[in-house]
Amino acid sequence: MNQVWAGLMLISILVASIRWGTGDTEVLEKVVESSFDMARLSVEIAIGLVGLLALWSGLFRIAEQAGLVAKISRGLTPLFSRLMPEVPAGHPAQGAITMNLAANMLGLDNAATPLGIRAMQALQQLNPVANTASNAQILFLVLNTSSVTLLPVTIFMYRAQAGAASPTDVFIPILLATTASTLSGLLAVMAIQKIRVDAVILGWLAGLVAVIASFIYWLGQLPVEQLSQVSSSVANGLLLLIIGLFVAAGLIRRVRIYDEFVEGAKSGFETAVMLIPYLVAMLVAIGMFRASGALELLLQGIGSLLAAAGITTAFVDALPVAFMKPFSGSGSRAMMLETINAYGVDSLAGRLAAIMQGSTETTFYVLTVYFGVVGITRMRYALWAGLLCDAVGITTAIIVGMWFFA
C-alpha cells in the first residue's frame, strides 16, 4: 500500500506540473481543490457509515448471542475447512463471511459493508501477524472485490431514468462478467495458496453456477417492465427477513436483545471513526490522480495503442468507467452517467459502461476499509489479486457487451 499510495500522489503531481508548464494555468488549483474535496468526502463517508455499522453490528451481536452465527458456521465447515484451513470449525468468522457474501450477491451494499468489516475483524482475531494480511483475509477480500451481484438494481434504475428502451437488457451481460471476475479471483488465490480442488469445492462451485443459471431463467420469464421492481422487492424482502430472523431468534433464546444490540452498536460506532484516516489517505490520492489529468492521459494512450494495432476502439468511449471502478464506486458511477449522457443510454458505449459498472467492485476502497479497520499495512498479494478480478471482469464486460450489442 505504501508504494501504491506514493505512486498515485507523485504521478498526479508530476502530470499536473507538466500540464502547468505547458500552459494549463488552472490544473494546480484543480488538484489542490480535489485533495480538499476528497478529504471532506472521506469524513462524510465515515459519518454515513456510522449509522449502518451501528445497526448491523448490533444485529450481528444479537445473532451471535442467539447462536445463529454458530449454526451457519457449522453448516459451512466442509467448505471453509478447505478454502480457509486456518479458521477453526464453527468460528464466528464463517457466519459473518457468509452473510457478507449473501448481501453482496443481492446488491445490499448498506448491509454488505458492515458485515464485511465484522468478518474481517473476526478473521483478524486468528491472524498471527497483526499488521500482515493472512491467507484467509486475502481470500475473503478478493471475493469482495470481485463481488458476484445477482441484483444490480441501481444500474437498472439509472438506465430507466435515462430513458432506456429496456433498462434491464444489460442484466445477463453483467451477471456473466461478475461471475467471471469472482471465479478468476477465487481460482488465482487458491493457486497461490496451493489449495487443492476436491469434490467438495467442485460441488459448491457447481451449486453456485446452478443457482445463477436458475436465477437467470426465473427472471427471464418475467416481463421486462417488472424485472427491476421484482429484483428490488426480492432483495429488500430478504433483508427484512434476515432482520426479523435475528430478532425472533434472540427472543426465543431469551437474549436481552435491546441490551445486546446497543452493545454491538457501540463497537460499530468506534469502527466507523477508526476508518477516517485510511479513507482520507486513499481518496485524496485518487482525487488528485483524476484531477491532474493522469487518468485522461492513460485512456488516450490506450486508445492510440489499440488503433495502431488495428483493434477496434468501439469500447474506448466506455473505458473511463473501467479505470475509475477500482478506485471509487461514486467516481465510476459518475463516469457511467457521463458516458450515458454523452453517447446515449442505448448506445454501445452507454450499455458497455453499465456492464462495466456491475462487473466488479471498488478494489482500492475495499482494501482501504477492510484492511484499515484492523490495522493491516502489509497486503502481500491482495491488491494484485483484486486487480486481476477487475481486469477479468472488465475484459469480460467488453467481450460480452460487444457480443450482445455491437
pLDDT at 223: 66
Q: In terms of pLDDT, which residue wins out, 192 or 2?
A: 192
Reference 383, options 396, 397, 366; nearest CA is: 366
Segment 391-405, tens digit of pLDDT? 999 999 998 888 888
Nine-digit cell at 77?
465447515
pLDDT at 226: 64
- For residue 228, pLDDT over 60 is answered with no
Q: How confident is the model at residue 337 (pLDDT cuts 50, 70, 90)?
A: confident
Segment 26-85, tens digit of pLDDT? 889 999 998 898 888 778 777 776 777 788 778 878 887 888 777 776 777 788 788 888
Segment 135-189, tens digit of pLDDT? 999 999 888 887 667 767 668 777 877 888 877 778 878 888 888 898 898 889 9
Q: In terms of pLDDT, which residue wins out, 289 or 138?
A: 138
Segment 117-140, tens digit of pLDDT? 888 988 998 998 888 999 999 999
Segment 244-262, tens digit of pLDDT? 988 998 999 888 889 989 8
Here the contacts of 230-235 (C-beta below 8 Å, separation 24 or greater) are 231/107, 231/151, 231/153, 231/156, 232/151, 232/153, 234/106, 234/151, 235/106, 235/107, 235/108, 235/151, 235/153
- Report the DSSP beta bridge partners of residue 378: 132
Here the contacts of 28-34 (C-beta below 8 Å, separation 24 or greater) are 30/291, 30/292, 31/288, 31/291, 31/292, 33/291, 34/287, 34/288, 34/290, 34/291
Q: How confident is the model at residue 108 (pLDDT cuts 50, 70, 90)?
A: low
Q: In terms of pLDDT, which residue wins out, 225 or 56?
A: 56
